[in-house]
Structure 1
């Protein structure tokens, strides 16, 4: 029987339209817009000025603190502006604008990196390389990877979990990466096992990616300590706490971390980025982005440089169809609608979803009928209807006491609500108030 997490969850239509589409390489954009806050924590500090010439991979914004991350130039060119632009959050953020030097041969090169299996760096050198090269979690959270890998002497760690679940509908960036970069990811896993000092790793992949499961089983060396686990298809299986519970049967404490139960979790995209940083001295300057939607001419997966305007990606798949109602950064469950296609790709951009009228329309919200559906599907065991009501009434202290910060914002509650109540919208706002990020009167 396939493993899964025991509490809540749903199975929305998968719509993996691009799972059979190889990753294409986007051309270098004429201008890139590089935000300095592409990670959880303190924004990076800009260390370049207007008119400065920059080279590919040069640090242009330095980590602003321990929980922060370096930002590197994704192209060779000239800094034209230090500006405020709207990013995928919908808010204006500080950004470095670089005009690409089209005559610089470095921008025309498409590097082909040979597989490098031998690990020569020490654990300390690996962690420093990951920090220096701006690696963050590419599964969506964008947590600086070096922080997650810093294990204190009194903390017990016995397993690395590799997240290859990609349970969000429509998105296939991780799936394609697992198929096309299997060997590199396996080396990346061994790098992390060496850095963390653990002898066991488990790659969790949902069973709708049988080709990826078989590919890893074929390529994984015997005696490596790496196990491949097929998982039942259920959303939100890719959540860290749900994945730890499914694979190891361990319950991460409320407000705790996987490390509290002896585990570190990393996404396959992050591990590939770590492989490139450690084995090929390559900073995080590009990532795989799924550009998809039922009405697109040619939905695809792309290698896209950080800072590439999303408009360029949409043009590469045939443009925005007339019937489009929303363009979402991310997937349909946890993604956020964009105000404009001028926003850039960031380290956390896993996908761009173009949604038509038939999928974007919400039903008219009605009164809660106390059916309990939202409670039954919540993977964190919360009462979403209560959290929405408390937020709606401005009772934020009560909402905090009801563990609103424990919500992982998976959207399962809104998905099943027969009264079409905007549960997740209110809970997200309530969380931001409880965290002190948003005024109560907003």
Structure 2
């Protein structure tokens, strides 16, 4: 089998054995639910409800402000307790709607749009926009924006990202095994928007069971002759957009450009599943699958949870901790962000909760760079991380930008491969934020 891949990258330990064979379990929340008004890239939402209001499942409670934004819907029925700032897993405080769960899950009346084959491109994109769908892999980019490239961009490849290269996470893997038909139908909806495009479902070869299931789903679907399953070599960060595009199409996305400039659109597995929900069932984004895992968790699981559910409820559903975690990460160990508390709500981009013990969470002490070049050999963006690290520590923003520091995808390959244990990605990430903030002024 000819395995597709990209240049460079690394092979971190998978850690997927904890949950890769665990079927998705549905978790109903017990306590209050918290809905931050910023769960996406772009402008935060305006609250549509106030303290004392009653809300229903599927009711819009946050109105998008502008094109690059995404509305938010209640996942339960109950009473609004408050509208106030809360902390999110990113460490920032954002305005949020806090709803007391009445346990009845009374729904609004969902209007099914009818066959998507009879809908126009504009109508389909409007349904996706109104459903509040964003990139579910963690980035949170509004999906309707990604599906609306400039007219001069000819899209010929729609890639469903089933690589799930991040260690420990298995929510996408399980979704491909358990909800394959819906994923194929969601991809067919996207392909209706781009009639000249071909669809690809890209999966790493450490998930051959998912490859077999998705191939069977494609063969069993009507009008799916333009969809193909592609098997990728297991390597990190195979699921990064630019690396995935190169692996599947052999095209490189130019520096400072977007996938559309290479004729491609990439969508996460869960995002494609939600497109089916919105366009076929008329249901907005209200739930997601979260992998709760790590050596500190008693019984790691894949859980389908309602957005707004408190993290502690997910931990409790996994039997709690078998030992107190030294570090808890939102997402996976390579690109996830460490959190300082567990009193946090599940949001659209919460793909995983990783709980590590002292043994797994050791932060090695740095030593001077030995100029070995291993970070350069590992960097999938062909950067020189040691140079960027040096510029960052000297606060030389001009040199950092001249060496293409803004092209860094923050995958962490450099830090993983560094024998001197330099905290490369931390310094580079901080400097990227500084440079971008200065450009916005």
Q: TM-score range by the shorter chain?
A: over 0.9
Shift of 1:224: 2.1
What secondary structure, in the 3-state scheme, does the structure 2 residue paired with 1:391 have?
helix
CA contact (8 A) 1:4 1:234 kept: no
Which of 268-277 and 218-227 deviates more? 218-227
Aligned to 1:127: 125
After superposition, the Cα gap between the structure-2 partners of 1:86 and 1:118, relative to the gap in structure 1 and judged at 3 Å, is: closer
Q: Distance in 2 between matches of 1:424 and 1:223?
A: 41
How is 1:29-428 mapped onto 2 (pairs within 5 angstroms)?
29-102=30-103, 104-106=104-106, 119-221=117-219, 224-428=225-429
Q: Distance in 1 between matches of 2:154 and 2:39?
A: 30
Deviations 1:53-107 (A, max 9, x none): 11111111111111110011111111111111110001211111111122x3528
Shift of 1:47: 1.7
Shift of 1:151: 2.9
Structure 1 residues not aligned, in runs of 5+: none
Shift of 1:152: 2.8
Which of 218-227 and 421-430 deviates more? 218-227
Which of 420-429 and 117-126 deviates more? 117-126
Q: Distance in 2 between matches of 1:307 and 1:160?
A: 31
Deviations 1:384-405 (A, max 9, x none): 1111111111111221111111
After superposition, the Cα gap between the structure-2 partners of 1:10 and 1:105, relative to the gap in structure 1 and judged at 3 Å, is: closer
Q: Distance in 2 between matches of 1:347 and 1:81?
A: 21
Shift of 1:338: 1.0
CA contact (8 A) 1:433 1:439 kept: no
- TM normalised by structure 2 equals 0.95
Aligned to 1:15: 15
Shift of 1:213: 0.3
Q: Distance in 2 between matches of 1:100 and 1:421?
A: 46
Structure 2 residues not aligned, in runs of 5+: none
Work out the number of aligned pairs and report it.
434
CA contact (8 A) 2:286 2:306 kept: yes
Deviations 1:353-372 (A, max 9, x none): 01011110111111111111
- TM normalised by structure 1 equals 0.94
Q: Distance in 2 between matches of 1:99 and 1:127?
A: 33
Deviations 1:146-166 (A, max 9, x none): 000013322211111111000
Q: Which runs of 4+ in 1 moved over 6 A?
A: 437-440
Q: Distance in 1 between matches of 2:99 and 2:153?
A: 43
Deviations 1:91-150 (A, max 9, x none): 211111111122x3528x9x9xx9x98744322111000000100000111100000001
CA contact (8 A) 1:156 1:262 kept: yes
Shift of 1:218: 1.5
Shift of 1:223: 5.4
Which of 205-214 and 75-84 deviates more? 75-84
Q: Distance in 2 between matches of 1:343 and 1:437?
A: 30
Q: Distance in 2 between matches of 1:118 and 1:86?
A: 39
1:3 aligns with 2:39: no
Shift of 1:187: 0.5
